[in-house]
Structure formats: structure tokens, C-alpha cells
Chains A and B, each alone.
Chain A
Amino acid sequence: MALLSINGLTQKFGGLLAVSDFNIELGGGELVGLIGPNGAGKTTVFNVVSGFYQPSDGEIVLNGVKTRGLRPHQVTALGVARTFQNIRLWHDMTVLDNIRVSQHYRMGYNLLDAFRRSKRYVENERKIETIAYELLEAMDLKQYASEYPKNLPYGLQRRVEIARAMSVKPQLLLLDEPAAGLNSSDVDGLIKLVRWIHKEFPITIWMIEHQMKVVMSLCSWIKVIDFGATIAEGTPEQIQSNPTVIKAYLGDDTL
């Protein structure tokens, strides 16, 4: 059974057709790319998958559950995590707290436990903290645990955001332009990080990216969309030589 299958997804905003008849099936631990020119509808696809928008038409099935009508935090609990194009960490909370808050879906205690500091509260908080520290250790971020993200360099913020997404133990990780705003050495670090995550965890990664260097070196399968419609898909080599893709990016050279 596929982890994520999208059938005939269509998203309209008023008269604008942002995504039309989008199909994909993911689930074998692959690393897939989604590319396309600006305004092609890539982020819209991610927003629909993560539950921000209810699709105008079509169906999204995650782990056998139809996600229509679910709120984003419920979709996340089904095993999807994502990052954002512009980093959306909680900048006035420490890196550790950023990870801790992301454990809400498995908190395991209620408000009264928090007020009473009951045994269940203490056990669960200890578990959450252990998990958070283990993750920070694995992602090489432990020394920044008590720093505020706003004080970290941009490349590290990106790393923290990916760590925060990993902390919900996702089966599917959506990366929305992870290389945006990074300098070239940070980009190399990011490629290494994504490759390491993909090797270390049993996880499917789906990324939107503009920098071809990142997409071509990481993804095994790429889907290209333009004006909401899928115009090509294939391996990186096939995409690089596909005339429709070249036309969508560079325009037509006939005058």
C-alpha cells in the first residue's frame, strides 16, 4: 500500500486554477523532487497535502486514511512533516523547546496532569525531553539546545527546522525549497544532511527545489509542473533533456 497517493487533485482559488489533475504515488522510501517555474503551484500541492487547504477536487490518501476534512495537526499525526520556504521556527523559544512543542501529538497527558504535576506528566515530559535531546544529538545540534533560533546563522536555522520536522517521526518529509537563501557551502551541507537523513531513517522525502544542483544530485525521480499542470516526470537525466521542461523554464526560442 502506498504511503501517500494523490488522485486527480485540483485546487482552485476563485477563478484561478492553481493545481489541476495532479497525481502521485509515494511510499517506497524514495527521494522525489517537485520542480517548476515560479507560481507553478508547487507549494500549493504541499499546502493541500499538509491540510491547510481542502482540495477543490480529488482525493489524498495517507496511510490508508482520506485526509479530506482533517485539520493540519491531525494530518501531521498521520506521519507527515514539512518545512517552509521561509523558515518558520518559533524564534523566541529555545531550540530545545522548538523540538519539545512539536511533540504535542504524543504528549500523553492532559491539562490536569500538567497542573498537578502527576506521575504521568513527569514520565511523559521526561520521555519528550529524552527524545528531543537524542534528535538534537543525531542532527549535530546539541550545542545549540538552549540558543534562540533568531540568534543562529541562516544555515543552522534551516537545520533546526529540518530537525523540528524530523521530531514528529514522520514517514513522509516534505521539504519546501530547503536551499532557498543558503550560500553555496551551506547548500553542500544541506545536500549531505538530506542524504544522511534519507539513509539513516526509514522515510520518504519529497522536496520542492529551485537549485538544480540540489535536485539533480539528490532526487531519483522528478516531477515537473507548470501552471498547475504536470508537464513531465522522470529521472534527473530524462528531465534535463526534456524539451517541454526546457521550454517551461527558458521560454520558446522561436520569435
Chain B
Amino acid sequence: MQRYALNILLPAAAAFIVVLSQMGALDLYVQSVIMFMAINVIMSASLNLVNGNMGEFSCGHGGFMCVGAYVGSLLSMLLFTNSKLFGAALLPGYSALVLFPLVLLGAGAAAALVGVIVAVPSFKTRGDYLAIITLAVNYMVISAIQNLDVIGGPRGLTGMRPTMSAMEDVVNLPWMMIWVLIGAFGSVALIRRYISSTYGKGVNAVCQDEIAAEIMSVDTNRIKLVTFMVSSGLAGVAGALYAHVVGYVNPGSFDILKSTEAMVMVYLGGMGSLSGSVLSAVLFTLLLEALRPLQIYKWVLVPLILILLMQFRPEGIMGNKELPDMFPRLRKYFTFK
């Protein structure tokens, strides 16, 4: 029974948030903060898979999010809405209720494919050199989209909001909130299942000693390929969700600053700690919102906080431990083994 506590508690918490939004107890601002929080959770948990668990240094996570955001928006417009770009919707708007996950899956798959561009060089390249490749991929994606005039170029793309309204017309629920929460909980569950399996523990083995991993029958190339694809795919899902929350995407919002944000969350939470990256995504989003009155000076203060973090607690909030390691009493409720 206790083992299933988390499986009951988390959906209950999610349902509670949805009910509160529906009743209007949470105003739209609070709702949007919660949604950005959930998107940041996906970003930091998926980047943690590469930077924390695999020990590589990927600093182009925003690029994968960008691919997901655009592919997700385009799919959503193609399937469910009447747009100037694609003409009439292929499917009736109400079908989005069931088929919206297809949009997320498509976005994830596209981003995962772009992830292969990073994964293949990683077979031979490590460390700083691979970091430069990830940076290059981030810029490749953004420059490509900026020059594609069909989808708006640097001006950006709008028109995915009607998909959400179509759902709300059929059943009046805060659907955006529901999909974002499902996305966040689903992604974290997926990552947890991956890294706690014997398959996924190969990721840690590659991080700690790649040569020993290869000699002990771990196919290190496959592990790298799969890990990069899972990580970038989830970033793509986060991107698709982000596009639908904001209702507008432009390539400029996924540049190096976005990638840095994701990295800050990973380092704040603690490398290789899944619970740490979830926790830090929540804290970081709250921090950014709390500092909003400072306006542009926010970006002076946030890096300063990062410097202080590196100085006084370089291992982040959780180190590389998980919650049950820090609070052994939690162990009977959930483990990461």
C-alpha cells in the first residue's frame, strides 16, 4: 500500500490544481506560473539525464525545445485548426480531445531526430568538444527557422491557441493545465523508469568509466544515442506545450538564454539527481517570478545567485542524491532503485 502512495498522491495533487483552476480559485497569472513551472520541470529533468547522469555537457537544450515548439504548433494547426498556412483543418476540432497527445508525440519525435545530430558525434567526442557541438546545433535550429519565411521566420508563428479553445468548447475544463501537468508527470515518470532500470544504469556507467562500461558488455554507443534522443525528445514535448501555453512562438525565445536557464536549473538541483532537478525547476520559476518587479535587473541578480551557488554549494540543492537518500523515512514510499 505504502509503495503506491506516490502513485495516488501525485495524480491527486494534479487533480486538485485542475479543480482549483476550474473553480477560479487560482487566477490566470497563478495558473500560468504553474504551467511554466511544469514545463521547466520537463526541461531540467530531461537535461539532467544528459548533463547529470551521463556526465556530458549539453548547452543547446533550447534548440530541441525550439524544434518541438514549431513541429508541435504546425501539427496542431494542420490537424485541428483552420489556418492561413494549411487551410481547413484536417480533423474536426473536438477530436483534439483525444488526439492532442499525437501533437506532443510528433513534436517529441522530431526533436529526438534532431538529437541524433548531437548523439552521433558523441560516440567519439566528449567534454568541451561535445559542448561546442550542442551549441552549434542550437544555433543551426534557430538560424534555419529564422530563414524559413513560410512559418514566419524571425517574426514567429501564431495560431495554435484555437486547438485549446476547440477542446474547451466540447468539455469546459482548463485543458491546457491538464495537458501540461500530464506532460510533466509523464516525463518525470519516464525518466525515472529509464534511469532505474538496468538498461538506464548503463548511462551512469558511461559517465563514471566509459571504458569499463564498454568492456562489461554495455553498448556505449547505443546508450549515448538513446539517452540523447530521450532527453531531446522530452525537450521537444516541453516545447510543444510551451507553444500552446503562450500561443505564440518565435525562434529568438529558444536561443542560448533558454539553454542556459535549463542548465542553471540542473546545476541548482544537483547533477544526476532527478528529484533535485524537479525541485530546482519549481524554485527557479518561483524565483524568476518573485524578481519580476526588478524588471531587466533580474538578469543581473539571477547570475549573481548562480555565482553564489557555485561558491558556497557547488553540488546544488541535492548533490547527486535523491530525496529518499536524504530522508530515509521516505524510502518506504518510493525509491529510485
Binding site for B on A (CB under 8 A): 50, 52, 71-73, 76-77, 81-82, 84, 88-93, 97, 100-105, 107, 109-111, 114-115, 117, 121, 124-125, 128, 164-165, 168
Q: Are B193 and A90 in contact (CB under 8 A)?
A: no
Q: Does B320 contact A (CB under 8 A)?
A: yes
Given A104-B218, A168-B217; A114-B197 close (CB under 8 Å)? yes
Alpha-carbon separation in the docked complex, A6 to B216 (Å): 22
Alpha-carbon separation in the docked complex, A92 to B226 (Å): 22
Q: Are A92 and B202 in contact (CB under 8 A)?
A: no
Given A100-B201, A107-B198, A109-B199; A89-B212 close (CB under 8 Å)? yes
Q: Which are the 5 A-B pairs with shortest beta-carbon distances?
A: A105-B217, A102-B216, A88-B212, A114-B197, A90-B208
Q: Does B289 contact A (CB under 8 A)?
A: no
Residues of B within 8 A of A107 (CB): 198-199
Residues of B within 8 A of A71 (CB): 214, 219, 221
Alpha-carbon separation in the docked complex, A171 to B218 (Å): 18
Residues of B within 8 A of A92 (CB): 204, 208, 320
Q: Are A117 and B193 in contact (CB under 8 A)?
A: yes
Q: Are A84 and B218 in contact (CB under 8 A)?
A: no
Residues of B within 8 A of A90 (CB): 204-205, 208-209, 212-213
Residue in B194, B209, B216 whose CB lies within 8 Å of A115: B194
- A-B contacts besides A100-B201, A109-B199, 14 pairs, CB < 8 Å: A52-B215, A73-B220, A82-B215, A93-B204, A101-B204, A102-B216, A104-B198, A104-B216, A104-B217, A107-B199, A110-B199, A125-B197, A125-B198, A168-B216
Tell me the residues in window 165-203 of chain B with beta carbons closer than 8 Å to chain A beta carbons: 190, 193-194, 197-202
Residues of B within 8 A of A101 (CB): 198, 201-202, 204-205, 213, 216, 218
Scoring B198, B200, B209, B218 by chain A CB atoms within 10 A of each residue's CB, the highest score goes to B198
Residues of A within 8 A of B200 (CB): 114
Scoring A52, A77, A88, A109 by chain B CB atoms within 10 A of each residue's CB, the highest score goes to A88
Q: Does B257 contact A (CB under 8 A)?
A: no
Smallest Cβ distance from B36 to chain A, in angstroms? 26
Alpha-carbon separation in the docked complex, A31 to B180 (Å): 61
Alpha-carbon separation in the docked complex, A105 to B215 (Å): 11
Q: Does B6 contact A (CB under 8 A)?
A: no
Given A90-B208, A101-B205; A73-B193 close (CB under 8 Å)? no
Residues of B within 8 A of A77 (CB): 217
Alpha-carbon separation in the docked complex, A72 to B220 (Å): 10
